[in-house]
Structure 1
Amino acid sequence: MMMKKILAALAFVASFSAFAAPDCQKTGTVCTAPNQTRNVSGLSVFRECWEYQDTYQCRSQNMVNDCQPLRDKGCSQIGSSCVERDDSGTCVMYEQKYNCPDKPETYTEKTVCDQSAFCQNGGAGCFDTSAPPDKDFGQAAVMMEAAREAGVYGIDPNKVEIFKGYMEECSIKVLGGTTLKSCCKSAGGGAAFSNYALLGAGMKAAGEAGRESIVLGSKYMYDSLYGQLDSSLVDKGLGAMNSWASGLGDGVFNPQFGFYGFTFEFTFANGFQFVGFDPYSFALSVAIMLVQEWLSCDSAEQVMAMKRGQNLCVHIETYCSKKVLKVCVEKKERHCCFNSKLAKIINRQGRAQLGMPMNSCGGFNQAQLQALDFSRIDLSEFIADIVPKDVPASTMSNRVQQTVNKKVQSYYDQ
């Protein structure tokens, strides 16, 4: 009977060590007193292990905040959300959202002394030059581009694909709340993949034939960045550029050329034709354009970084994709990415206007598009891209001087 009481007491002592702080996780156990016979109340008792040493990994109570660099840049916090909770429901990792200016604020003071009237013939024929610029120009240009994109990329009235986006993900390596490696940053170089720039690069290899069609390639579309997700975008984008070629008749000049992994063929009868896509050449072209920091991110994340650099993506959510010992070691961000900035604006604001779920990237069918009230959509982000910027006075003066010199030279060369 005495032996049973002793063993019960030992079992109680052994089980007591299993309790630990709620913020700690047991990671290992090592026997520090193995295979010994000990005297317990006058009795010799043999046990394979008398003492154990447990190792625990505990979560620090001190919160780690890595947002100070954003505040130092003048960013303002616009939101906060919990991305990880422990078993008790306590939030252990927050995602803070900041709105950051593209460039620091600057203030310029100008004194304009120009007269508001221009006169000819010694005072006759005067007219007022002080009228403000037409603010409706940008809005009209946007609506024309919106109609063009809807016609090119949304061809089936029964399918939900007008101004649609693509759900993409990127990863962030974290440890203890600290970001070790982020593949969710934005990167430059995406401007080289606009429809206009891509075909322009091709013409350098193919010669001057068909260069007029480059003018029809939209500077605001980035179909080539979506070749791995939806190659049909490239076909649709090229189709909008080829209408000029159909009336030129058959020609013998039909070169085939490639760049950035895309292969095209040109004929006077059919214009540009998309022949094929090589994902390996595309991935290599993208990798060369990015800095060494991005080499640890996969090709899809690298391309997504270029899309974000052109403001083509919208953040949807962040979630923990990998845990070790109940601690998040990798997060993933989901973004809706679009092949134009205008498509992004209309999709996100249009879905909100129609009460559609905001965690989806789907586009609109014909009926939904017609139900949108475009007067309530803020298009200022896209208007800023198409309204001409101020031209420096020195540049304008040089252009005028060059024009005068050219006209004078042409006069004497006659």
Structure 2
Amino acid sequence: MAGTPDSSGEVVITPVSGKADRTAFVDYAYRINAGDPAWVPPLRMEAIELVTPGKNPFFEHADVQLFLARRGGRIVGRISAHIDRLAVAMDPAQGMGPGTGNWGLLEAEDQAAAHALIARAEAWLREKGMTRVLAPISMSIWEEPGQLVRGFEQSPTVMMGHQSKRYPAYIEAMGYTPAKSLLTYELDISKEFPPLIQRIVASGEKNPRIRIRGVDKSRFDAEAKLILDILNDAWSDNWGFVPFTDTEIAYAGKKFKPIVREDLIMVAEYDGEPVAFMMTLPDLNEVLKHMGGSLFPFNWAKLLLWLRNPRVRTMRVPLMGVRKRLQASRLASQLAFMMIEYIRRNSVTRYGSTRGEIGWILDDNQGMVAIADAIDSKVNKEYVIYGKGL
């Protein structure tokens, strides 16, 4: 951010009400992050959609209040406070549960503004009967959960968050302690996987009961529904899990469709039954980073050209899942390695990619951590979800 922040004067927190406030809430992120070379400006229309009732289906099952911080009439920060009713209904053993609220989308000029915003979000949650907070979550657990604590120098890949390195200290000074770490792993996909993994893949290719296939975009809605069905089953016992609604499935499908490639999303079938999937997306952020959040006047043409033939350095695996009954089995690992290898080959030969990123992965998800380790990937980013009693 240009200039030196003026931390003197009272910080006044006001709730966002109306279109002008909502626009100011979104615009502030572009101003505060303008000097961060790693930050990727999201498309402004998508940033506004994220916080607009009737646009983002998260609002169908969540109570949300946005806040702005001002000092001397000038905006110096923002935050969202929200209660996801689906999350509140989950088993407390899975992280969320009754009495758990969240805040997110934190941006602040300095510690005083950050603390005033967090305190106001906590007060709002307390007023709504919440007794505990997990944060930051911006806004659904499926969107951009966690505060970045490692990997600030790297730009985020598509659908991953990026926040200032100042914020962890601000959050912890308010009495928050880490509740869960989310990891992303990077690897050089131009190299073949270790010999053991190659043997596992070759063995699976000889097994007539296994079939690995790409998705069929001509049956996009059916394929999306299948993948989300496997996901909801595979992740249902995971920490922080909140099921997708039908509306969210349709919404996610609409957003993903332009960057979905049939040869980058794999479905594994066993005895003819779809039992696992792996979703890989070209890193759209590589092209968005230089657009400043706008498609006009000519960025729309650049984006359209890129979407027709994406050539990217990085491919991201945001989601994968194996049906619960097969988890912790050798078959589950074999299917995962086969899907990863097929996607790796396609990424290199068809899209010119050299780097992969897998995540996020819960730090205590032993199965996924073992798979990441087996293919020689290394942790490149860590996000922390903090907890605090109210």
Q: Which has the higher contact order (CA 8 A, sep 6+)?
A: 2
TM-score, reference length from structure 2:
0.24
